[in-house]
Amino acid sequence: MNRLFWKIFLWFLFTVLATGGLSFLAADYLAGQQSVSERHLQRIEAMATAAEMIAEEHGMPGLYTWLRHVQRRVHYPLLVVRRSPSDGWRNLDGLPVPPEVAAHMNMPASREGVAQSRQARHRVVSVPLKHIDGLYLVTVFGQRPLWARPQYRHLPLVIALAVSVVVCLLIAWSIARPVRRLRHAAGELADGNLAARADVGRRGDEIGRLAGDFNRMADRIEQGMRAQRQLLSDVSHELRSPLARLRVASELARRKATDDTIASELSRIDLEVGRLDTMLGDVLTLARLESNGNEVALAPCDIDALLDEVVADANFEYRGEGRRATVTKRAGCSVMADAPLLRSAIDNVVRNAMKYTVADSCVEAATRVEGKRLCLTVQDRGPGVPEAALPHLFDAFYRVDEARDRDSGGYGLGLAIAARACRLFGGGVHAENGAEGGLVVTMSFPLHSGVAGERSSS
């Protein structure tokens, strides 16, 4: 569980325990300060008068019988006590009285009339029998509760702790659980899952309203992203037709041109039209991946064969510039992917390396197995990129250097297409500056289970 859960739980537990403990102490203190009500005092005086009458008419045996009869009718101890010169206060049975009664009767004020005092968590009330010298009717209020007995003195703490733990666990769980779900949904949305929503149930509190606001925000983001992708796709598709007509018109104009200057300008127009057409093709590919990427059919692909084809094409294209590419190591494994899309991703990474590697240098590509994944590494001999730019290299239309990328014909789409393709195949891609200079791009994919099993058994 996360830190928020335990923080809430511990604070609630401390609050409940502190409140319960203080309430217990306050109640105990106030209970001890209360006096016996006037109604009870009048009742005790009436019983004392009745005891005097019984004693005068029937003597001590009658008083003893009456006392036992009355004791069964009241819910508090009722005693008739007398003082023995030799061994202190005794009841009618001749037994010593309880300590709280003895302490009360030893007070001078208790023998002068109706008196009450607090003794050992009890209220003791005494009334002298006026016509029988030396006898007192004594009652004891506030019988010790169960937990006041020595064997049960920890019972309140155990009960309070058990109830507090259960209640605080429920409260902390009810708060931390929806927050955890909201955090998970936010992480999914940040990772590109536009369908992620926070499901916290039907809550009307602040957390429920926060989840509702998050879901509305996610809806707006999803709608905006879908509209943006659709716009890019529609605009790119519509622009290809006029570009094709422009290329035809340029070719017709070149055939009619008689001046070499005009022919040179038309060639420049053809070059820019070609670049624009390539960019629109990349935009269409990226939009298709973003919109329908989950519908890509996966099949076992020989990644080494695709890498050899891409390297051969790159060497042919850059043969006049003194740049070349080579494969230094082959893993001999297959991955589950869409072959044309995987080839396009590898081609974009290799071509990006060929663009920025220095003249008369070699771009090195290799595949290797790390655990249950296959890694394809492409390293150039260029100047590398600033560390701050590394996390953004795979964002669409991102450029490290506007002037350099414009001169090289790049539009910041090739690496974005490669990254999206890797994610569709269950893999990933990251870039770092090499220890000896240049940029190192690593693409990783899950190994095809059938091939992995064959390799492990051979």
Enter the DSSP assignment of 198. -
Active-site annotation holder among 122, 154, 237, 392: 237
Question: How far is Cα of residue 159 from the mean position of the Cα atoms in its chain?
Answer: 31
**Is the CA virtual torsion 224, 227, 233, 234 positive or negative?**
negative
**Is the CA virtual torsion 404, 408, 411, 417 positive or negative?**
negative
* Under 8 Å between Cβ of 338 and 294: no
Strands of 362-370's sheet in order across: 324-329, 362-370, 373-379, 439-446, 428-433
Closest alpha carbon to 132 in 50, 40, 222, 212: 50
* Under 8 Å between Cβ of 104 and 117: yes
Residues 419, 413: Cα–Cα separation, whole Å: 10
Closest alpha carbon to 228 in 313, 290, 309, 177: 290
Confirm whether 237 is a catalytic residue. Answer: yes
Tokens of 302: 């020989």
Residues 163, 267: Cα–Cα separation, whole Å: 85
Residues 6+ apart with CB under 8 A from 458: none
Helix, strand, coil percentages (3-state) for the chain, rounded to 5, are 60, 15, 25
Closest alpha carbon to 100 in 69, 123, 74: 123
Residues 444, 363: Cα–Cα separation, whole Å: 19
Residues 163, 13: Cα–Cα separation, whole Å: 10
User: How many C-alpha atoms does 319 have within 13 Å on its Cβ side?
Assistant: 6
Catalytic residues: 237
